[in-house]
Amino acid sequence: MVINGLGPKVGHGTRFGQFESHRALFKPQEPMILRRVDDRMSAHPGLSAQYHQVTTDGEHPAQRFEFWRSTCLKLVEPTGPPEGGCDCFRARSQRLAGSSGTFIDNSVTPMKVQRTQQLCARDGIDDLAISLEIGTSGIGWVGHNHNPIVFAPGDLHVLDFSQPLRADWNDGNHRGLLLTLPRASVLAALGRRQRDMTGVVLPRGGIAPLLTTQMRTLADLLPNLNVSSRAVALQTTVDLAVSVLFLELGQVNAESDECEDGMFAAALCYINRNFMSDRLSPELVAARLGCSRAHLYRLFARRHLTVAGYIREIRLQRCRLLLEAASASRSTIGDIAFRCGFTNPTHFARLFAQRFGMRPREARMARSPHDLFKTAR
């Protein structure tokens, strides 16, 4: 459970830094959303997100814990000094905040924290959040009755920051991801279907695992994304998270209008994870998402895309990257094509030439970067 808040306060020695803007290359094998950033920004002209990073590295060992406490612990309070003492304390956090939600990635040494009823009343924070544990486990208590729950690696938990909670991390260095969502936007969409979500563990079936993958990938890529890409990635993650809540907690049909953006995000995420398989097909994608093939086609058509065209584009872009990186390798063009889901070398060569205006063997000699934001129409 990630329950550190990363606020805007800047103290002495703070390592805040908004990274230099540069054009990021989304790697097709990674489950990020490969829609054109320009298109998404045009559809949502107000889409923006602020990125900050904080680390205790560079601080005097005796001052690290107090620095972290005063800079980052906004949602919770420590119940005492960290395990092993303040001199051994280390922490790192990155935060991406937009109007639709906030994404936080925290790595911290073992410690105990709490959010008291007094703190809830004082700060008035009324957000819901989805928390993902990575690599470590712990025990937490949430809600007014302090119902105990175990936070296991890979679990997605729903937290309610309007209620008290406690967490005890004592199993190695803890890393967790947190996506906070304004309560009003979630509950307004759930309407009468809303229920108490405090401490709910989301099932590991349905589209929830795709949200897990999306959150992990967003955390890994954040430092290298440019400003526009971060905003799009955050909004895509929020869309997917809200759809997961709708489907798992609101008893909403996968083909309902409320889930359209999230289901589209889930489809792209699944394709980007599985494009290497020659068995990937619209039928398989629809079955994995729990919707009809016709609905999947509609999701893509409304965005002027086709399912088959998107799969083909992802495969071709990945092939081009590998060909350019493999100019001195022993991998044959046929091997690279097969690894990217193409089973017919002749068909692959024809598609490659049509898409890039060069033959695959010519691409092997190219070393310059290319625009990977073009998607199939």
- Which pLDDT tens digit goes with each residue over 5-53? 544 332 333 322 222 222 232 344 343 433 444 444 445 556 889 999 9
Range of the domain at 83: 37-274
β-partners of residue 129 are 159, 180
Of 222, 242, 274, the position where a domain reaches its end is 274
Is residue 3 included in any domain, yes or no? no
Cβ-proximal residues to 320 (8 Å cutoff; 6+ apart), any chain:
352, 356, 363, 370
Is residue 27 included in any domain, yes or no? no
Q: From the DSSP assignment, how many helices (H) and strands (E) are in the chain?
A: 13, 12
β-partners of residue 150 are 139
In a shared domain, residues 148 and 258: yes
Highest mean pLDDT among 38-47, 76-85, 186-195, 341-350: 341-350
In a shared domain, residues 232 and 312: no
In a shared domain, residues 305 and 163: no
Alpha carbons within 13 A on the beta-carbon side of 282: 16
Of 232, 258, 274, the position where a domain reaches its end is 274
Q: Residue 161: which of 195, 194, 188, 126 has the closest Cα?
A: 126
Cβ-proximal residues to 207 (8 Å cutoff; 6+ apart), any chain:
240, 243, 244, 247, 262, 263, 266, 289, 290
Of 243, 274, 305, the position where a domain reaches its end is 274
Burial of 57 (0-12, 13-18, 19+ CB in 10 A): exposed
- CATH number, domain of 369, equals 1.10.10.60
By 3-state DSSP, what share of the chain in percent is helix, strand and coil, each rounded to 5? Answer: 40, 20, 40
- CATH number, domain of 100, equals 2.60.120.10
Q: Residue 37: which of 27, 26, 29 has the closest Cα?
A: 26
Domain count of the fold of the chain? 2
In a shared domain, residues 168 and 120: yes
β-partners of residue 236 are none
Is residue 29 included in any domain, yes or no? no
Highest mean pLDDT among 64-68, 74-78, 129-133, 346-350: 346-350
In a shared domain, residues 149 and 268: yes
CA distance 357 to 377: 17
In a shared domain, residues 284 and 266: no
In a shared domain, residues 313 and 188: no
Quick: pLDDT tens for 294-323.
Answer: 999 999 999 999 999 999 999 999 999 999
pLDDT for 194: 55
Residue 158 to residues 153, 241, 332, 341, Cα–Cα distance (Å): 15, 11, 47, 37
